[in-house]
Amino acid sequence: MRKNIFLFLFGVFLIPLASCNNTEKDFSENLFENDIRIRIDTLATGLQNPWGLEFLPDGRILIAERPGRLRIFQDGQLLPAAVEGLPAIWAHGQGGLLDVVMHPDYQSNQWLYLAYAAPGPGGGNTTIGRGRLEGNQWVDFQQIFQGQPLTSSGAHFGSRIVFDNDNYLFTTIGDRGVMQSSQDLSNHNGTVIRLYDDGSIPADNPFVGTPGARPEIWSYGHRNIQGMVFHPQTGDLWTHEHGPRGGDEINVIFKGANYGWPRVTHGVNYSGTTITPDTTLAGMVDPILHWTPSIAPCGLEIVTSNRYGSWQGNLLVGALAGQHIHRVVLEGRQVVHTEKLLEGFARFRAVRQGPDGLLYVLTESPGMMIRLMPEE
């Protein structure tokens, strides 16, 4: 049974920037006067570590659960049986089934893409595979990419998948718990990856032909990206990534750029010791926004719908440790305002705008899919 919760998103959800420590800019709490009344429509409960969701043209919604299950939400109900025939998924530490995305030309080719941890000799790593869905069965599976090296670590797999307007596939891999590997182009750790839709490597990738470098790499120096989206107007690729103890970041991703981890960070080790004294260095890209203390960002969307008033054009960031949705208001690539929405409601794992223009959200603890319904 669906449950409806009414919330007014104003007042207590606005945060003074002195408590956020995420930029030197002067933000105004009073910048927005048109408050939005939201009804939370609970669509599905009982999910286990839901990570990603995708909206199929026939109205079905696919939900990826990290333990390795792909679920179908159809006709207002979460179907009890998971999709059968998925590839072997390594549900290990932070790894498992992490994202599901359809090809931009899905109507003609029916390809669906999974980001997941796959096992192999010595452990496993983040992997991209594609297949088709026939009823409740996964068919025509192809593994098109696996990050190297394979390792037994259970940390920092990423991962999200997005396609750009030219049908290039972008995905992410975390540093796999080995900080310095993010600065080493001979492995895929701590990178954004760019591929053709069949997994082949574009010849204009920045490190094609560089001795010792992995040619799939698009950018590097990342810690653990778990949110990624293309801006529909500018074409910018926006990401956010986990810092250690503080130092979570939002970035715009540029071809071949180094984002600094762990040579620069606003965070410290979990023990409180210093990782580096540097928060900026020449030749490395500074974050657009950073959070200290950490909010543990996961899931990222740009609101294009006109159903949410002044939210249109904003970034929405799910927060795990912070247990809220972080609204980030932009002017170009500059942040002009932030606020917390639904603070304390749950650990937010994914935020996606559906084809109906409404916002769908995955939470864990408890595991739910909810829909944010604006009251007009």
Q: Catalytic residue numbers?
A: 156
**How buried is 232 (Cβ within 10 angstroms: 0-12 exposed, 13-18 middle, 19+ buried)?**
exposed
Per-residue buried b or exposed e for 116-145, using 16+ beta carbons within 10 Å of the residue's own CB: bbbbeeebbbbbbbbbebeeeebeeeebbb
Rg (CA), the chain: 20
Here the tokens at position 210 are 């560089």
3-class SS string, the chain: CCCEEEEEECHHHCCCHHHCCCCCCCCCCCCCCCCEEEEEEEEECCCCCEEEEEECCCCCEEEEECCCEEEEEECCEECCCCCECCCCCCCCCCCCEEEEEECCCHHHHCCEEEEEEEEECCEEEEEEEEEEEECCEEEEEEEEEECCCCECCCCCCCCCEEECCCCCEEEEECCCCCHHHHHCCCCCCCEEEEECCCCCCCCCCCCCCCCCCCCCEEEECCCCEEEEEECCCCCCEEEEECCCECCEEEEEECCCCECCCCCCCCCECCCCCCCCCCCCCCCCCCCCEEECCCCCEEEEEECCCCCCHHHCCCEEEEECCCCEEEEEEEECCEEEEEEEECCCCCEEEEEEECCCCCEEEEEECCCEEEEEEECC
d(CA 247, CA 266): 4
Beta bridge partners, 352, equal 360
The alpha carbon of residue 55 and the mean position of all alpha carbons in its chain are separated, in whole angstroms, by 16
